[in-house]
Amino acid sequence: MTFYLKGLAVRFNPFFLAILLGSLFLGIIKEALIIFGAILIHEGAHISAGKVRGYKISEIELMPFGGVVKIEGLIGAHPSDEVIISLSGPLLNILLGCIAMICSLKGIPVGDLFLFFIKVNFSLALFNLLPALPLDGGRIMRAYLSIFMGYKKATDIAIMCGRILAALLLLLGIYVVIGGSYNLIPLIMSIFIFVTLKREQGFVAYVFLKNISKKKEKIINSGVIKRGGLIVSDETLIKDVIWSFTPDKYFTITVVNKEWKIIGEFTESEIINGIIRKGIKARIKDIMD
């Protein structure tokens, strides 16, 4: 289900709609609408942060525990941008939760739904800060790790954490259902995370190509880019070298043999050309003509 708001595509994920319908069935639609409002606030923060950082927002997909804001140009951008944009949602939820809690502590008359609003904002923020994809915390962790180990390895770690989280939610959901409860939210969220992680994996190759083109643009526009270095064995697979590249540096690769003697050196571009010529299963020694 999709509608457009001033050029922004707003998409309702089927899992999100399933939870709303389930809430209606269980007679807790007011609570569900509060959760919906907190999610909109959360995603609004991501959109605002993205615009402040100079990005164009093309789509927002509302999901059970948050959403995905499609920000053009963010994939493969500098890690600091992804950290700032990812943090904005949870931080706004925490801020609103604190303001609401202060109001209740100051003696301002509040009802149960207001207290529920406080709980939802804190819960949404804390859950999204867990270091696992597709949550905000997973994106923050990936952005940080990508500086040191490349986007591919950082994504693999964040996806592994996401799978662990999904498995734990699945076990919790089964336990709750066996206990006689009709609360299917943990099961729905578990399935959703597993499905979303598949999509995240599909982005990795695209992000790599995006990073390469961004580096070329940066050199052309500013004339300067930081240099990175790798030392690899001539038996190393070329694809493993490529996945070690990071977005903010242009790499030179020093090749050594079994005796640790330097036998060659490549630039990042030469490594990429090598895998195009020899294929993804080629080793460094195969391009040492």
pLDDT at 183: 73
- Which of 216, 242, 270 represents a domain boundary (last residue)? 216
Query: Across the chain, what does the average pLDDT equal?
Result: 83
Tell me what pLDDT residue 208 has: 66
For residues 278 and 157, membership in a common domain is answered with no
What number is the average pLDDT over the span 205-233?
75
Q: Are residues 193 and 256 in the same domain?
A: no
Looking at 216, 234, 253, the residue that finishes a domain is: 216
Q: What is the mean pLDDT of residues 5-34?
A: 77
Same domain, 94 and 156: yes
Q: What pLDDT is attached to residue 90?
A: 94
pLDDT recorded at residue 114: 83
Per the model's pLDDT, the better-predicted residue between 128 and 200 turns out to be: 128
Question: Which domain covers residue 272, as residue numbers?
Answer: 225-287
pLDDT at 143 over 80: yes
183 and 235 assigned to the same domain: no
Q: Which pLDDT value is given to residue 230? A: 92
pLDDT digits (tens, 9 = 90+) for 79-137: 888 899 999 999 999 999 998 888 878 777 667 788 888 899 999 999 999 999 889 99
On whether both 167 and 262 belong to a single domain, the answer is no
Say what the pLDDT of residue 232 is: 94
69 has a pLDDT exceeding 90: no
Between 163 and 101, residue with greater pLDDT: 163
The percent of residues in the chain predicted with pLDDT above 70, rounded, is 89
Pair (73, 21) in one structural domain: yes
User: Mean pLDDT throughout 256-262?
Assistant: 92
Nearest-angstrom CA–CA distance, 287 and 185: 52
Query: Per-residue pLDDT for 281 more than 90?
Result: no
Q: What is the count of structural domains for the chain? A: 2
- What is the CATH number for 274? 3.10.580.10
Q: What is the pLDDT of residue 197?
A: 87
Q: Are 205 and 246 contained in the same domain?
A: no
For residue 271, give Cα distances in angstroms to 48, 206, 214, 282: 39, 18, 17, 11
On the question of pLDDT at 3 being above 90, the answer is no
